[in-house]
A and B are shown apart, each in its own frame.
Chain A
Amino acid sequence: MEELIVKLKNEIIDVLNLEGMAPEDIADDAPLFGEGLGLDSIDALELIVLMEKNYGIKLKDPNEGKAIFRSVKTMADYIEKNRKF
């Protein structure tokens, strides 16, 4: 799990172009949207692509994303349970 969290943080920084951010700057349970990292709706869509591309998880309804993308921790939990590869 720990390993997945670090990997995920690196992937997020990379696909969302979070310049100057390092994995240790993102707390495992800090909110990704709103107050937290300040991500927006396009970032959310890009996270959906990340889930599919890197873990084979297809989210049909973007509203599902809300709970899954609450924090890196919630994302990692979901991936752990649903990943295809």
Chain B
Amino acid sequence: MKVCIVGDNIVSSLGFTTGENVAAVRRGDSGLRYYADRLEVPEPFVASAVCRERLDEAAERLGVSSEKYTRFERLSIVSVADAVAGKAVDLLSRRTLFVLSTTKGNVELLDEKLKKGFGPERVYLWHTARVIAGFFGNPNEPVVVSNACISGVAALVVAKRWLEIGDYDTVVVVGADVLSKFVISGFQSFKALSPEPCRPFDAARCGLNIGEGAATLVLQREEAPVGRVMVEAGAITNDANHISGPSRTGEGLFRALTAVMQGAETEEIGFLNAHGTATPYNDEMEAIAFERAGLQQVPVYSLKGYFGHTLGAAGVLETIMAAHALKEGFLPVSRGYQQCGVSRPLQMVTEMTECRMRQCIKTVSGFGGCNAAVRLKI
């Protein structure tokens, strides 16, 4: 039995369906924009924001009003609804589980000015997860994974395990986070934001951009999948080094890569979709880990130049993009990259390339020293 992707959706600055997002990335469009005077953040910032009008429209169609549902919940619900549309998925079943991946959920409700009519319980992640799963009438208590920037891939690993345990036939993994004063100001206080569109792995990189979005993966176990992208292996590790600084040796990521490479040959890996946040230390750490894992010849790209860092959505969103890259056979340009800025040379993708590939690896790393990787196969 294989864990397969049977449905997906991405809602981001680049579109409201996976198709729109894939097409935008293929064209080389970026959703990153310069914002001054937004979210009451005193310093301007570059970020990737979901179009408000389109979200209102899409949510309206589903009857998800902004009086009853927060922006975070509306994004998530719109994403799940599209991911399951037309699929043989029974969301009302006890054998379907929701897994929510988020870092901050409805944290903006802590701001008195943004609280509106929402009750104090709404900031609890388990509560907002119930609202989302409840909208679809799912009878199970949703699982919430909150593991910083690796949440999305961690949620996918968790989902895979629950399918393998056998209690569920379908797991819906939804990853989401929204732009907020809370998150932007926090990363600014870390001096981690780039004042310009980010440049992963480039010599002139100087920080990340925050993005928002929701992404949904619908997973099922299939006996003999045909044309499906399968989640072959997944691993979560820790650097045991520092709570905010990436490991200088890439220890955790190296170990995660070693774990997911078990049972695969390097030559079979078509590409690595790196985390590639474009902070000086993160990208350097990744380059070291890739080399240590013997993957330095594998083409690498980061999607942060298109979507920014979408936090709890990132691992899900980027895994979906990787799955479609395998399915359609293309390598997107690692946007923002011009000249190598890490100590270990990588095979950065600098031109949009069409090619057939069977397998790929998606990695993420985050605060708390955590790392995660999944290997996908078609």
A–B proximity contact (CB within 8 A): yes
- Per-residue interface assignment for chain A, residues 33 to 53, with 1 indicating a CB less than 8 Å from any chain B CB and 0 otherwise: 000000011100100110000
Contact B245 A49 (CB under 8 A): no
Residue of B nearest to A65 (CB): B191
B262 within 8 A of A: no
Residue of B nearest to A59 (CB): B191
Q: How far is the CA of A42 from the CA of B189 in the complex (A)?
A: 10
Tell me what chain A mostly uses at the interface: helix, strand, loop, or mixed. Answer: helix
Chain A: minimal CB distance from B199 (Å): 18
Report which of A41, A48, A49, A62 forms a contact with B244, defined as CB distance below 8 A.
A41
Chain A: minimal CB distance from B192 (Å): 10
Count residues of A near B (Cβ-Cβ below 8 Å): 7
Contact A49 B189 (CB under 8 A): yes
- A51-67 residues with Cβ-Cβ distance < 8 A to B are 62
B161 within 8 A of A: no
Contact B244 A42 (CB under 8 A): yes
Residue of A nearest to B244 (CB): A42
Contact B242 A45 (CB under 8 A): no
Contact A41 B189 (CB under 8 A): no
Q: How far is the CA of A49 from the CA of B243 in the complex (A)?
A: 19
Q: How far is the CA of A45 from the CA of B245 in the complex (A)?
A: 13
**In the complex, what residues of B have CB within 8 A of residue A40's CB?**
242, 245
Contact B242 A62 (CB under 8 A): no
Contact B191 A62 (CB under 8 A): yes
Chain A: minimal CB distance from B377 (Å): 39
- Per-residue interface assignment for chain B, residues 71 to 104, with 1 indicating a CB less than 8 Å from any chain A CB and 0 otherwise: 0000000000000000000000000000000000
**In the complex, what residues of A have CB within 8 A of residue B191's CB?**
45, 48, 62
- A5-53 residues with Cβ-Cβ distance < 8 A to B are 40-42, 45, 48-49
Chain B: minimal CB distance from A59 (Å): 9
**In the complex, what residues of B have CB within 8 A of residue A45's CB?**
189-191
Q: How far is the CA of A40 from the CA of B244 in the complex (A)?
A: 10
Q: How far is the CA of A11 from the CA of B244 in the complex (A)?
A: 23
Q: How far is the CA of A17 from the CA of B244 in the complex (A)?
A: 18
Q: How far is the CA of A7 from the CA of B372 in the complex (A)?
A: 45
**In the complex, what residues of A have CB within 8 A of residue B189's CB?**
45, 49
Residue of B nearest to A41 (CB): B245
**In the complex, what residues of B have CB within 8 A of residue A49's CB?**
189
**In the complex, what residues of A have CB within 8 A of residue B190's CB?**
45
* Chain A residues with a Cβ under 8 A of chain B: 40-42, 45, 48-49, 62
13 residue pairs of the A-B complex, CB under 8 angstroms, read: A40-B242, A40-B245, A41-B242, A41-B244, A41-B245, A42-B243, A42-B244, A45-B189, A45-B190, A45-B191, A48-B191, A49-B189, A62-B191
* Chain B residues with a Cβ under 8 A of chain A: 189-191, 242-245
- Known contacts A41-B244, A42-B243, A45-B191; 10 additional CB pairs below 8 A are A40-B242, A40-B245, A41-B242, A41-B245, A42-B244, A45-B189, A45-B190, A48-B191, A49-B189, A62-B191
CB-CB nearest 4 A-B residue pairs: A62-B191, A41-B245, A42-B244, A45-B190
